[in-house]
C-alpha cells in the first residue's frame, strides 16, 4: 500500500485540499503528516479538522511545539510569532486536543517520521546538519528510511559504504537501494522556499522501494488573500505567489 508523506501545510487549506485530491487520484492508501500543520496561513482550524476527518496521523512540528510551549515561542521571529498566536485563537478545543495528542515521532511501514531530524528532534534543521553528524545519526537509526520536514526543501540524504551523499530530489521517481540508509525531506505543502510555488509532497511505495515527488497546482491567490484578511504578515502571503530566496524560517 502506497503512503503519502505531507509536511509543513502551515494552515494552507487550498494547498492541502489539492494535495489530498492528487493523492486520492493516485490510489494512495494512507497519509502521514510531518507536522507544522499550523502557522503562517489563515485556515488552521479547517486544516486540522480535515486531517482529523481523513484520519491522518501527524507528528509535532516546531509550530505545534511553540503553541504548547511559551519558551519555544520566544525564539520565533515577530511575524511568525504573531501568525501563530492568531492561529491559536482560531483553533477549536478538538483541534487543540488533536495537536496536543500528536507524538514527536512515529514509525509506519518500517520508516521513521519526525519533523526535524532523527531520532526525535522537532527543531533541528537538516539543511544545517553536517555530513559527519548525519553519518552518525543514520548509522544509529533503527529504520532504514527517515522522512523529515522543517526546511521546506525536497532533499535526499543517503548513507552507504562510500559515506554520506546529499542531493535535491528531482521531478522523477527515485528508486532506493535496500542496502543504504536514507533521510528524505518531504518539502512543504503550504509554504514554498527557494523552489516552485506548487504544493509539494511525496509518495512512498514500499513494494517498489521508491519515492515520487508530487508538485500540485492550487489557488495560491485565494490562500494569500485570506492571509492578509486575517491580519497575518504579508510576508507569508507573498511567499505563496512570488518565489522566495529565504531558505528557512521559524
Question: Residue 242: what pLDDT?
Answer: 87
Taking only the tens of pLDDT, the chain with its 250 residues reads 899 999 999 999 999 999 999 999 999 989 999 999 999 999 999 999 999 999 999 999 999 999 999 999 999 999 999 999 999 999 999 999 999 999 999 999 999 999 999 999 999 999 999 999 999 999 999 999 999 999 999 999 999 999 999 999 999 999 999 999 999 999 999 999 877 999 999 999 999 999 999 999 999 999 999 999 999 999 999 999 987 665 555 6
Q: Does the residue 247 lie in any domain?
A: no
What end-to-end distance do the CA atoms of the chain give, in Å? 34
Handedness of CA 56, 34, 43, 153 (dihedral sign): negative
Sort strands 154-160 and 210-216 into parallel, antiparallel or unpaired: unpaired
Q: Does the residue 35 lie in any domain?
A: yes
Question: Residue 246: what pLDDT?
Answer: 59
What's the number of domains the chain is made of? 1
Q: Does the residue 248 lie in any domain?
A: no
CATH of the domain at 147: 3.60.21.10
Q: Are 182 and 147 in contact (CB under 8 A)?
A: no
Rg of the Cα atoms in the chain = 17
Range of the domain at 151: 3-241
Q: Does the residue 235 lie in any domain?
A: yes
Q: Are 52 and 91 in contact (CB under 8 A)?
A: no
Sort strands 181-186 and 145-148 into parallel, antiparallel or unpaired: parallel
- pTM for this predicted structure: 0.96
Three cell numbers written together for 69: 510551549
Q: Does the residue 28 lie in any domain?
A: yes
Which residues sit opposite 186 in a β-bridge?
154
Question: Residue 103: what pLDDT?
Answer: 96
Q: Does the residue 228 lie in any domain?
A: yes
Q: Does the residue 134 lie in any domain?
A: yes
**Cα 204 to Cα 3: distance, rounded to the nearest angstrom:** 5
Amino acid at each position: 500500500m502506497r503512503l503519502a508523506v505531507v509536511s509543513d501545510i502551515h494552515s494552507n487549506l487550498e494547498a492541502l485540499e489539492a494535495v489530498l485530491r492528487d493523492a486520492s487520484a493516485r490510489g494512495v492508501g494512507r497519509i502521514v503528516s510531518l507536522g507544522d500543520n499550523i502557522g503562517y496561513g489563515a485556515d488552521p482550524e479547517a486544516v486540522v479538522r480535515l486531517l482529523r476527518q481523513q484520519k491522518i496521523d501527524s507528528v509535532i512540528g516546531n509550530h505545534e511545539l511553540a503553541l504548547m510551549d511559551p519558551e519555544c515561542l520566544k525564539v520565533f521571529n515577530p511575524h511568525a510569532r504573531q501568525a501563530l498566536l492568531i492561529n491559536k485563537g482560531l483553533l477549536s478545543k478538538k483541534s487543540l486536543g488533536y495537536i496536543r495528542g500528536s507524538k514527536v515521532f512515529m514509525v509506519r511501514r518500517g520508516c521513521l517520521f519526525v519533523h526535524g531530524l532523527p531520532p526525535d528532534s522537532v527543531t533541528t534543521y537538516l539543511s544545517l546538519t553536517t555530513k559527519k553528524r548525519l553519518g552518525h545519526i543514520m548509522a544509529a537509526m533503527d529504520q532504514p528510511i527517515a522522512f523529515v520536514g522543517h526546511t521546506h526543501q525536497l532533499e535526499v540524504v543517503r548513507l552507504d559504504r562510500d559515506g554520506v551523499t546529499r542531493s535535491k530530489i528531482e521531478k522523477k521517481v527515485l528508486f532506493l537501494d535496500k542496502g543504504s540508509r536514507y533521510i528524505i525531506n518531504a518539502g512543504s505543502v503550504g509554504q514554498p522556499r527557494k523552489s516552485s510555488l506548487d504544493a509539494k509532497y511525496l509518495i512512498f511505495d514500499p513494494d517498489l522501494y521508491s519515492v515520487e515527488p508530487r508538485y500540485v497546482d492550487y489557488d495560491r491567490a485565494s490562500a494569500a488573500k485570506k492571509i492578509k484578511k486575517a491580519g497575518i504578515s504579508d510576508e507569508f502571503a507573498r511567499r505563496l505567489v512570488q518565489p522566495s530566496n529565504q531558505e528557512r524560517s521559524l
